[in-house]
């Protein structure tokens, strides 16, 4: 459903958020290890997320990545998805057809329409803070 970049981006943000709750900045290598992403790919994803002001990058020996706790309480997962994948997840055909629409639906169009709307609702109502606190409490995991 999400691109690999988006999956890694969401995991990276959740990890950075858990560390930010402890007032810690994290280095790219640490983010890569905790999100299961190759370091170079993680750097590219974090560059995109920094550009979209999802995460903040601080340079220097005490630098790293962080997210303001106040910001993470209002930041929706949909912002991360949009920064990396755009809105294609809400518009694309379930079977990948170019011409699938209400006038010319694929066999799964009507079924996928409601699923896509539920997904959009979930992404637009779930905050990064919700996910970070769930992970921090041990109620969820991030990597195997």
Average pLDDT over residues 66-90: 94
Q: Distance between CA 22 and CA 120 in Å, rounded?
A: 30
**pLDDT bracket for residue 105 (50, 70, 90):** very high
Distances in whole angstroms, Cα of residue 29 to Cα of each of 12, 18, 64:
11, 16, 10
Residue 88 has pLDDT above 90, yes or no: no
Question: So what's the pLDDT on residue 144?
Answer: 65
Residue 80 has pLDDT above 70, yes or no: yes
Question: So what's the pLDDT on residue 40?
Answer: 96
Question: For residues 94-132, b (16+ Cβ closer than 10 Å) or e, as one string?
Answer: beeeeebeeeebbeebeebeeebeebeeebeeebbbbbb
Q: Distance between CA 135 and CA 144 in Å, rounded?
A: 13
Residue 29 has pLDDT above 90, yes or no: yes
**pLDDT bracket for residue 34 (50, 70, 90):** very high
Q: Would the pTM of this model clear 0.85, i.e. be above it? A: yes
Question: So what's the pLDDT on residue 70?
Answer: 95
| Mean pLDDT over the full length of the chain | 92
Question: So what's the pLDDT on residue 6?
Answer: 94
Residue 1 has pLDDT above 80, yes or no: no
Looking at the chain, the whole-number percentage of residues with pLDDT higher than 90 is 69
- Sorted by where each starts, the structural domains of the chain and their CATH numbers stand as 4-136 (1.10.10.10)
């Amino acid at each position: 459903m999400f691109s690999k970049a988006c999956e890694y981006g969401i995991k990276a943000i959740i990890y950075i958020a858990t560390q930010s709750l402890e007032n810690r900045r994290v280095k790219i290598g640490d983010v890569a290890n905790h999100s299961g992403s190759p370091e170079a790919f993680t750097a590219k994803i974090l560059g995109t997320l920094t550009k979209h002001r999802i995460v903040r990058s601080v340079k220097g020996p005490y630098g790293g990545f962080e997210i303001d706790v106040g910001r993470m309480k209002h930041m929706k997962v949909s912002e991360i998805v949009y920064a990396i994948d755009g809105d294609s997840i809400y518009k694309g055909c379930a079977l990948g057809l170019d011409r699938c629409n209400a006038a010319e639906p694929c066999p799964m169009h009507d079924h996928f329409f409601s699923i896509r709307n539920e997904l959009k609702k979930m992404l637009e109502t779930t905050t990064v803070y919700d996910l970070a606190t769930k992970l921090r409490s041990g109620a969820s995991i991030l990597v195997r």
